[in-house]
Structures are given as C-alpha cells and as structure tokens.
C-alpha cells in the first residue's frame, strides 16, 4: 500500500534517523490534499448511516485508512 501511495506522490519515505532498518513515511502536500478531500466524503456520510453500516459489516478499508492517516497527521 505504501508503495502505491509513494508512486502516486501522496507520501514520501525517508530513512529513520535512529534505526537504519526502518523508514519514516510522511504525507506530502498532494497527499494531504487527497486526505482532506477523502475526509470530507467520509464526514459527509450521516452518522446514523455509518452506525447502521458498521453494525452489519467490518470497517471498509478506505474509512480505516482515512482514520489512521488523520491520527498520524494530528501526531505531527
């Protein structure tokens, strides 16, 4: 997944400063724009509809991804 995001220009990888075995993945400005648009779509769905859907099925990957990216963006 990160490979595809990087190829699309949405994230950039760089070497971890303390661990040569790891990489740091950062959201790029174009990636932040895509995240903002995706968040608008997710947020526009009425909460009641989301609750009904969540009761019937596991979270959709897109919703999970947006939630995780938002959390990561808030940390930095």
Query: What is the rounded distance in angstroms from the CA atom of residue 13 to the CA atom of residue 2?
Result: 9
Instruction: Give, for all 76 residues of the chain, the pLDDT tens digit.
Output: 889 999 999 999 999 999 989 999 999 999 999 989 888 887 777 776 767 766 666 666 777 777 877 887 776 6
> 74 is written with which tokens?
């808030």
**CA nearest 14: which of 31, 29, 2, 1?**
2
End-to-end CA distance of the chain: 21
């Amino acid at each position: 997944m990160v490979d595809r995001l990087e190829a699309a220009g949405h994230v950039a990888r760089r070497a971890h400063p303390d661990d040569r075995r790891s990489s740091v993945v950062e959201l790029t400005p174009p990636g932040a724009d895509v995240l903002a648009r995706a968040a608008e779509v997710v947020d526009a769905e009425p909460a009641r509809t989301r609750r009904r859907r969540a009761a019937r099925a596991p979270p959709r990957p897109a919703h999970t991804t947006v939630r995780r990216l938002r959390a990561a963006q808030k940390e930095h």
